[in-house]
Amino acid sequence: MTQQLFLDWVFLWRLVGQSSSSMHKLLRYFSEPTLALGASASDWQQAGISDKGLVIYRDWQNGHDQEIQRDLAKALKSIEQQQQQVITLHDSRYPLLLKEIPDAPPLLFCRGDVSQLSWPQVAMVGSRRPTQNGLKLAEQFASELSQRGIAITSGLALGIDGAAHYATVKAKGITLAVLGTGLSEIYPKQHVTLAEQIVANDGLLISEFLPHTPPINYHFPRRNRIISGLSLGVLVVEAALESGSLITARLAAEQNREVWAIPSSVFNPQAKGCHALIRQGATLVEEPSHILEDIASRLGQARSGHFGGIAPIIVNENSEISLEAQQVLAVLGWLVQHFDALIEQGSWDAASLAGLLMELELAGRIATVSGGYEQLKSGS
Protein backbone atom coordinates (compact mmCIF):
# COMPACT_ATOMS: atom_id res chain seq x y z
CA MET A 1 0.00 0.00 0.00
CA THR A 2 1.36 3.43 -0.92
CA GLN A 3 1.70 6.13 1.73
CA GLN A 4 -1.05 8.18 0.08
CA LEU A 5 -3.49 5.26 -0.04
CA PHE A 6 -2.75 4.51 3.61
CA LEU A 7 -3.48 8.16 4.50
CA ASP A 8 -6.71 8.09 2.50
CA TRP A 9 -7.98 5.03 4.40
CA VAL A 10 -7.23 6.57 7.79
CA PHE A 11 -8.55 9.97 6.79
CA LEU A 12 -11.83 8.62 5.40
CA TRP A 13 -12.28 6.52 8.56
CA ARG A 14 -12.04 9.69 10.67
CA LEU A 15 -14.24 11.63 8.27
CA VAL A 16 -17.12 9.15 8.68
CA GLY A 17 -16.72 9.24 12.47
CA GLN A 18 -15.38 5.66 12.58
CA SER A 19 -18.78 4.41 11.44
CA SER A 20 -18.31 0.95 10.00
CA SER A 21 -21.64 1.04 8.14
CA SER A 22 -20.85 4.41 6.49
CA MET A 23 -17.36 3.25 5.51
CA HIS A 24 -18.76 0.09 3.91
CA LYS A 25 -21.34 2.14 1.96
CA LEU A 26 -18.59 4.33 0.54
CA LEU A 27 -16.34 1.39 -0.30
CA ARG A 28 -19.18 -0.38 -2.09
CA TYR A 29 -20.03 2.74 -4.09
CA PHE A 30 -16.54 4.08 -4.85
CA SER A 31 -14.39 0.92 -4.35
CA GLU A 32 -11.45 2.95 -2.98
CA PRO A 33 -11.14 5.70 -0.32
CA THR A 34 -9.24 7.93 -2.77
CA LEU A 35 -12.25 8.05 -5.10
CA ALA A 36 -14.61 8.75 -2.19
CA LEU A 37 -12.49 11.67 -0.98
CA GLY A 38 -12.54 13.21 -4.44
CA ALA A 39 -16.28 12.84 -4.94
CA SER A 40 -19.06 15.39 -4.55
CA ALA A 41 -21.49 15.53 -1.65
CA SER A 42 -24.26 14.46 -4.02
CA ASP A 43 -22.23 11.33 -4.84
CA TRP A 44 -21.97 10.62 -1.12
CA GLN A 45 -25.73 11.02 -0.86
CA GLN A 46 -26.17 8.49 -3.68
CA ALA A 47 -23.89 6.12 -1.72
CA GLY A 48 -26.36 6.25 1.16
CA ILE A 49 -24.60 8.58 3.61
CA SER A 50 -26.88 10.25 6.16
CA ASP A 51 -27.67 13.98 6.20
CA LYS A 52 -25.44 14.41 9.25
CA GLY A 53 -22.56 12.73 7.43
CA LEU A 54 -23.13 14.94 4.38
CA VAL A 55 -22.90 18.11 6.52
CA ILE A 56 -19.56 16.94 7.95
CA TYR A 57 -18.26 16.12 4.46
CA ARG A 58 -19.32 19.51 3.04
CA ASP A 59 -17.73 21.33 6.00
CA TRP A 60 -14.47 19.48 5.37
CA GLN A 61 -14.60 20.22 1.64
CA ASN A 62 -15.05 23.92 2.46
CA GLY A 63 -12.16 23.89 4.93
CA HIS A 64 -14.37 24.50 7.97
CA ASP A 65 -13.51 21.40 10.00
CA GLN A 66 -10.05 21.80 11.49
CA GLU A 67 -10.78 19.23 14.21
CA ILE A 68 -10.58 16.40 11.67
CA GLN A 69 -7.16 17.58 10.50
CA ARG A 70 -5.92 17.79 14.11
CA ASP A 71 -7.24 14.31 14.92
CA LEU A 72 -5.57 12.87 11.83
CA ALA A 73 -2.22 14.45 12.68
CA LYS A 74 -2.44 13.13 16.25
CA ALA A 75 -3.35 9.64 15.02
CA LEU A 76 -0.51 9.49 12.50
CA LYS A 77 2.00 10.60 15.15
CA SER A 78 0.90 7.79 17.50
CA ILE A 79 0.91 5.21 14.70
CA GLU A 80 4.53 6.10 13.95
CA GLN A 81 5.72 6.38 17.55
CA GLN A 82 4.16 3.08 18.66
CA GLN A 83 5.02 1.29 15.41
CA GLN A 84 1.38 0.44 14.84
CA GLN A 85 0.45 -1.26 11.60
CA VAL A 86 -2.82 -0.49 9.84
CA ILE A 87 -4.42 -3.43 8.04
CA THR A 88 -7.23 -2.45 5.69
CA LEU A 89 -10.05 -4.57 4.32
CA HIS A 90 -8.23 -4.63 0.96
CA ASP A 91 -4.90 -5.71 2.50
CA SER A 92 -3.71 -9.27 1.79
CA ARG A 93 -2.84 -9.57 5.48
CA TYR A 94 -6.44 -9.01 6.54
CA PRO A 95 -7.64 -12.24 8.24
CA LEU A 96 -9.95 -14.21 5.97
CA LEU A 97 -12.19 -15.46 8.77
CA LEU A 98 -12.83 -11.92 9.97
CA LYS A 99 -13.53 -10.68 6.45
CA GLU A 100 -16.45 -13.13 6.29
CA ILE A 101 -18.48 -11.60 9.10
CA PRO A 102 -21.24 -9.05 8.54
CA ASP A 103 -19.92 -5.53 9.12
CA ALA A 104 -16.26 -6.58 9.14
CA PRO A 105 -14.07 -3.74 10.51
CA PRO A 106 -12.72 -1.72 7.54
CA LEU A 107 -9.43 -1.07 9.35
CA LEU A 108 -7.45 -2.87 12.03
CA PHE A 109 -4.86 -0.93 14.01
CA CYS A 110 -2.28 -3.42 15.31
CA ARG A 111 0.70 -3.51 17.65
CA GLY A 112 2.81 -6.64 17.66
CA ASP A 113 3.17 -9.57 15.28
CA VAL A 114 0.45 -9.12 12.63
CA SER A 115 1.03 -12.63 11.26
CA GLN A 116 -0.88 -13.83 14.35
CA LEU A 117 -4.09 -12.45 12.82
CA SER A 118 -4.37 -15.58 10.68
CA TRP A 119 -3.24 -18.05 13.36
CA PRO A 120 -5.97 -20.50 14.52
CA GLN A 121 -7.58 -18.88 17.54
CA VAL A 122 -9.99 -19.71 20.33
CA ALA A 123 -11.68 -16.80 22.08
CA MET A 124 -12.08 -16.87 25.86
CA VAL A 125 -14.51 -14.49 27.55
CA GLY A 126 -16.32 -14.24 30.84
CA SER A 127 -17.17 -12.26 33.92
CA ARG A 128 -15.26 -9.19 35.06
CA ARG A 129 -15.94 -10.37 38.63
CA PRO A 130 -15.30 -14.11 38.44
CA THR A 131 -15.04 -16.57 41.27
CA GLN A 132 -11.64 -18.02 42.20
CA ASN A 133 -12.67 -21.26 40.51
CA GLY A 134 -13.52 -19.29 37.37
CA LEU A 135 -10.09 -17.66 37.33
CA LYS A 136 -8.38 -21.04 37.77
CA LEU A 137 -10.41 -22.54 34.91
CA ALA A 138 -9.55 -19.62 32.63
CA GLU A 139 -5.87 -20.03 33.42
CA GLN A 140 -5.99 -23.81 32.93
CA PHE A 141 -7.79 -23.69 29.57
CA ALA A 142 -5.68 -20.80 28.23
CA SER A 143 -2.41 -22.40 29.30
CA GLU A 144 -3.13 -25.84 27.90
CA LEU A 145 -4.68 -24.67 24.63
CA SER A 146 -1.82 -22.23 23.99
CA GLN A 147 0.74 -24.94 24.69
CA ARG A 148 -0.97 -27.02 22.01
CA GLY A 149 -0.45 -24.19 19.52
CA ILE A 150 -3.86 -22.47 19.69
CA ALA A 151 -3.78 -18.67 19.98
CA ILE A 152 -5.98 -17.28 22.76
CA THR A 153 -8.05 -14.23 21.87
CA SER A 154 -9.88 -12.02 24.37
CA GLY A 155 -10.81 -8.44 25.15
CA LEU A 156 -8.20 -7.30 27.75
CA ALA A 157 -10.98 -6.70 30.29
CA LEU A 158 -10.65 -7.38 34.01
CA GLY A 159 -11.52 -10.86 35.25
CA ILE A 160 -11.63 -13.81 32.86
CA ASP A 161 -10.15 -11.87 29.90
CA GLY A 162 -7.11 -10.78 31.87
CA ALA A 163 -6.60 -14.24 33.39
CA ALA A 164 -6.64 -15.83 29.91
CA HIS A 165 -4.11 -13.33 28.55
CA TYR A 166 -1.80 -13.63 31.58
CA ALA A 167 -1.86 -17.44 31.54
CA THR A 168 -1.05 -17.53 27.83
CA VAL A 169 1.89 -15.16 28.20
CA LYS A 170 3.17 -17.22 31.15
CA ALA A 171 2.88 -20.40 29.05
CA LYS A 172 4.84 -18.67 26.24
CA GLY A 173 1.88 -19.03 23.94
CA ILE A 174 0.31 -16.52 21.55
CA THR A 175 -2.48 -14.22 22.71
CA LEU A 176 -4.40 -11.51 20.86
CA ALA A 177 -6.17 -8.70 22.71
CA VAL A 178 -8.98 -6.86 20.94
CA LEU A 179 -9.59 -3.43 22.46
CA GLY A 180 -12.71 -1.30 22.67
CA THR A 181 -10.49 1.80 22.69
CA GLY A 182 -7.64 3.08 20.56
CA LEU A 183 -4.25 1.44 21.05
CA SER A 184 -2.89 4.60 22.70
CA GLU A 185 -5.67 4.51 25.31
CA ILE A 186 -5.28 1.10 26.96
CA TYR A 187 -8.34 0.28 29.07
CA PRO A 188 -8.58 -0.66 31.84
CA LYS A 189 -5.44 1.11 33.08
CA GLN A 190 -4.69 -1.89 35.31
CA HIS A 191 -3.81 -3.80 32.14
CA VAL A 192 -1.27 -1.39 30.63
CA THR A 193 1.58 -3.67 31.75
CA LEU A 194 -0.26 -6.74 30.47
CA ALA A 195 -0.70 -5.09 27.07
CA GLU A 196 3.04 -4.46 26.84
CA GLN A 197 3.77 -8.06 27.87
CA ILE A 198 1.50 -9.33 25.09
CA VAL A 199 3.41 -7.31 22.48
CA ALA A 200 6.81 -8.28 23.94
CA ASN A 201 5.89 -11.99 23.73
CA ASP A 202 4.98 -12.05 20.01
CA GLY A 203 1.29 -11.42 20.66
CA LEU A 204 -0.90 -8.73 19.18
CA LEU A 205 -3.03 -5.77 20.27
CA ILE A 206 -5.89 -5.00 17.88
CA SER A 207 -8.41 -2.17 17.58
CA GLU A 208 -10.65 -0.85 14.84
CA PHE A 209 -10.50 2.60 16.46
CA LEU A 210 -8.11 5.49 15.89
CA PRO A 211 -5.25 5.46 18.42
CA HIS A 212 -6.62 8.05 20.86
CA THR A 213 -10.25 6.87 20.93
CA PRO A 214 -11.28 6.79 24.63
CA PRO A 215 -13.43 4.12 26.29
CA ILE A 216 -17.04 4.60 25.14
CA ASN A 217 -19.73 2.15 26.27
CA TYR A 218 -21.15 1.27 22.85
CA HIS A 219 -17.67 0.58 21.42
CA PHE A 220 -17.26 -2.57 23.53
CA PRO A 221 -20.11 -4.54 21.89
CA ARG A 222 -18.54 -3.55 18.55
CA ARG A 223 -15.26 -4.97 19.82
CA ASN A 224 -16.96 -8.29 20.63
CA ARG A 225 -17.79 -9.08 16.99
CA ILE A 226 -14.07 -8.91 16.20
CA ILE A 227 -13.17 -11.26 19.07
CA SER A 228 -15.57 -13.90 17.79
CA GLY A 229 -14.89 -13.17 14.12
CA LEU A 230 -11.18 -13.88 14.44
CA SER A 231 -11.75 -17.18 16.23
CA LEU A 232 -12.75 -20.75 15.46
CA GLY A 233 -15.02 -20.58 18.47
CA VAL A 234 -15.79 -18.80 21.73
CA LEU A 235 -15.42 -20.32 25.20
CA VAL A 236 -17.50 -18.69 27.94
CA VAL A 237 -15.88 -19.51 31.29
CA GLU A 238 -18.22 -17.68 33.68
CA ALA A 239 -20.98 -15.21 32.90
CA ALA A 240 -24.05 -13.81 34.57
CA LEU A 241 -27.33 -13.69 32.63
CA GLU A 242 -26.86 -9.99 31.86
CA SER A 243 -23.34 -10.18 30.49
CA GLY A 244 -21.38 -8.83 27.55
CA SER A 245 -19.89 -12.30 27.21
CA LEU A 246 -23.29 -13.59 26.11
CA ILE A 247 -23.27 -10.95 23.35
CA THR A 248 -19.96 -12.38 22.13
CA ALA A 249 -21.40 -15.90 22.25
CA ARG A 250 -24.47 -14.83 20.28
CA LEU A 251 -22.28 -13.15 17.67
CA ALA A 252 -20.16 -16.29 17.42
CA ALA A 253 -23.24 -18.41 16.72
CA GLU A 254 -24.39 -15.94 14.05
CA GLN A 255 -20.92 -16.10 12.48
CA ASN A 256 -21.07 -19.92 12.34
CA ARG A 257 -18.40 -20.31 15.02
CA GLU A 258 -18.37 -22.87 17.80
CA VAL A 259 -19.74 -21.81 21.19
CA TRP A 260 -18.54 -23.63 24.32
CA ALA A 261 -19.56 -23.08 27.93
CA ILE A 262 -18.19 -24.44 31.21
CA PRO A 263 -20.90 -25.55 33.68
CA SER A 264 -20.81 -24.85 37.39
CA SER A 265 -22.96 -25.02 40.50
CA VAL A 266 -26.57 -23.94 40.07
CA PHE A 267 -26.01 -21.75 43.14
CA ASN A 268 -23.25 -19.77 41.40
CA PRO A 269 -24.78 -16.59 39.88
CA GLN A 270 -21.76 -16.31 37.56
CA ALA A 271 -22.70 -19.66 36.01
CA LYS A 272 -26.25 -18.78 35.01
CA GLY A 273 -25.17 -17.32 31.68
CA CYS A 274 -23.16 -20.47 30.85
CA HIS A 275 -26.08 -22.70 31.77
CA ALA A 276 -28.40 -20.61 29.60
CA LEU A 277 -26.00 -20.99 26.66
CA ILE A 278 -25.89 -24.76 27.14
CA ARG A 279 -29.70 -24.92 27.13
CA GLN A 280 -29.64 -22.93 23.88
CA GLY A 281 -27.27 -25.39 22.21
CA ALA A 282 -23.74 -24.39 23.26
CA THR A 283 -21.36 -27.31 23.75
CA LEU A 284 -20.67 -28.21 27.37
CA VAL A 285 -16.91 -28.57 27.96
CA GLU A 286 -15.11 -29.74 31.08
CA GLU A 287 -11.50 -29.81 29.90
CA PRO A 288 -9.36 -28.28 27.10
CA SER A 289 -9.20 -31.56 25.17
CA HIS A 290 -12.92 -31.22 24.42
CA ILE A 291 -12.21 -27.99 22.52
CA LEU A 292 -9.25 -29.50 20.67
CA GLU A 293 -11.48 -32.36 19.52
CA ASP A 294 -14.11 -29.92 18.27
CA ILE A 295 -11.76 -27.70 16.28
CA ALA A 296 -9.57 -30.40 14.75
CA SER A 297 -11.94 -30.87 11.82
CA ARG A 298 -12.20 -27.11 11.23
CA LEU A 299 -8.52 -26.25 10.94
CA GLY A 300 -8.44 -26.88 7.21
CA GLN A 301 -11.52 -24.72 6.83
CA ALA A 302 -9.88 -21.95 8.84
CA ARG A 303 -6.97 -21.98 6.39
CA SER A 304 -9.31 -21.18 3.53
CA GLY A 305 -11.13 -18.50 5.48
CA HIS A 306 -14.56 -20.11 5.41
CA PHE A 307 -16.42 -23.04 6.87
CA GLY A 308 -18.22 -24.44 3.86
CA GLY A 309 -17.23 -27.09 1.30
CA ILE A 310 -13.79 -27.86 2.71
CA ALA A 311 -12.78 -31.44 3.46
CA PRO A 312 -11.92 -31.72 7.15
CA ILE A 313 -8.44 -32.58 8.36
CA ILE A 314 -8.42 -35.45 10.83
CA VAL A 315 -5.58 -34.94 13.28
CA ASN A 316 -4.64 -37.25 16.09
CA GLU A 317 -1.48 -38.86 17.33
CA ASN A 318 -1.66 -41.75 14.85
CA SER A 319 -2.91 -39.86 11.80
CA GLU A 320 -1.11 -39.39 8.51
CA ILE A 321 -0.32 -35.77 7.79
CA SER A 322 -1.27 -34.10 4.52
CA LEU A 323 1.16 -33.66 1.63
CA GLU A 324 1.24 -29.90 2.25
CA ALA A 325 2.15 -30.48 5.89
CA GLN A 326 4.96 -32.82 4.80
CA GLN A 327 6.29 -30.00 2.63
CA VAL A 328 6.36 -27.71 5.66
CA LEU A 329 8.37 -30.33 7.55
CA ALA A 330 10.84 -30.53 4.66
CA VAL A 331 11.38 -26.76 4.76
CA LEU A 332 11.56 -26.69 8.57
CA GLY A 333 14.18 -29.45 8.67
CA TRP A 334 15.83 -29.90 12.03
CA LEU A 335 16.37 -26.22 12.72
CA VAL A 336 14.29 -23.96 14.94
CA GLN A 337 12.66 -21.53 12.51
CA HIS A 338 10.37 -18.52 12.93
CA PHE A 339 7.01 -18.23 11.16
CA ASP A 340 8.31 -15.44 8.88
CA ALA A 341 11.34 -17.53 7.87
CA LEU A 342 9.06 -20.37 6.79
CA ILE A 343 6.88 -17.95 4.80
CA GLU A 344 9.94 -16.70 2.92
CA GLN A 345 11.06 -20.23 1.98
CA GLY A 346 7.68 -21.63 0.90
CA SER A 347 4.78 -20.72 -1.37
CA TRP A 348 2.19 -20.48 1.42
CA ASP A 349 0.28 -17.41 2.52
CA ALA A 350 0.10 -16.69 6.25
CA ALA A 351 -3.32 -18.27 6.74
CA SER A 352 -2.37 -21.50 4.94
CA LEU A 353 0.92 -21.86 6.82
CA ALA A 354 -0.81 -21.24 10.15
CA GLY A 355 -3.25 -24.08 9.46
CA LEU A 356 -0.47 -26.44 8.35
CA LEU A 357 1.60 -25.74 11.45
CA MET A 358 -1.47 -26.39 13.58
CA GLU A 359 -2.02 -29.71 11.79
CA LEU A 360 1.60 -30.70 12.50
CA GLU A 361 1.42 -29.63 16.13
CA LEU A 362 -1.76 -31.55 16.83
CA ALA A 363 -0.26 -34.58 15.09
CA GLY A 364 2.74 -34.36 17.42
CA ARG A 365 5.23 -33.67 14.60
CA ILE A 366 6.41 -30.20 15.69
CA ALA A 367 6.53 -28.13 18.87
CA THR A 368 6.34 -24.40 19.52
CA VAL A 369 9.60 -23.36 21.18
CA SER A 370 11.45 -20.15 21.93
CA GLY A 371 12.38 -18.70 18.56
CA GLY A 372 9.76 -20.48 16.47
CA TYR A 373 9.03 -24.13 15.58
CA GLU A 374 11.01 -27.31 16.01
CA GLN A 375 10.46 -30.69 14.34
CA LEU A 376 10.05 -33.64 16.69
CA LYS A 377 11.35 -37.11 16.02
CA SER A 378 8.61 -39.61 15.19
CA GLY A 379 7.23 -41.24 18.32
CA SER A 380 8.62 -38.54 20.64
Q: What is the mean pLDDT of the chain?
A: 89
Neighbours of 232 (CB within 10 A): 25
- Candidate from 89-93, 111-115, 226-230, 332-336 with smallest mean pLDDT: 332-336
Rounded mean pLDDT of 343-350? 81
Helix (H), strand (E), coil (C) string for 123-173: EEECCCCCCHHHHHHHHHHHHHHHHCCCEEEECCCCCHHHHHHHHHHHCCC
- CATH (one of 2.60.120.10, 3.40.50.1820, 3.10.310.30, 3.40.50.450) for 96-294: 3.40.50.450
Question: What's the pLDDT at 312?
Answer: 32
Rounded mean pLDDT of 304-323? 45
Rounded mean pLDDT of 20-45? 96
Q: Where in the chain is the domain with CATH 3.40.50.450?
A: 96-294
Place 117 in a pLDDT band, splitting at 50, 70 and 90.
very high
Helix%, strand%, coil% for the chain, nearest 5: 50, 10, 40
Question: What's the pLDDT at 77?
Answer: 95
pLDDT of residue 159 exceeding 80, the answer is yes
pLDDT of residue 316 exceeding 60, the answer is no
Q: Where in the chain is the domain with CATH 1.10.10.10?
A: 313-375
Q: What kind of architecture, by CATH, is found in domain 313-375? A: Orthogonal Bundle (1.10)
- Candidate from 4-18, 118-132, 267-281, 311-325 with smallest mean pLDDT: 311-325
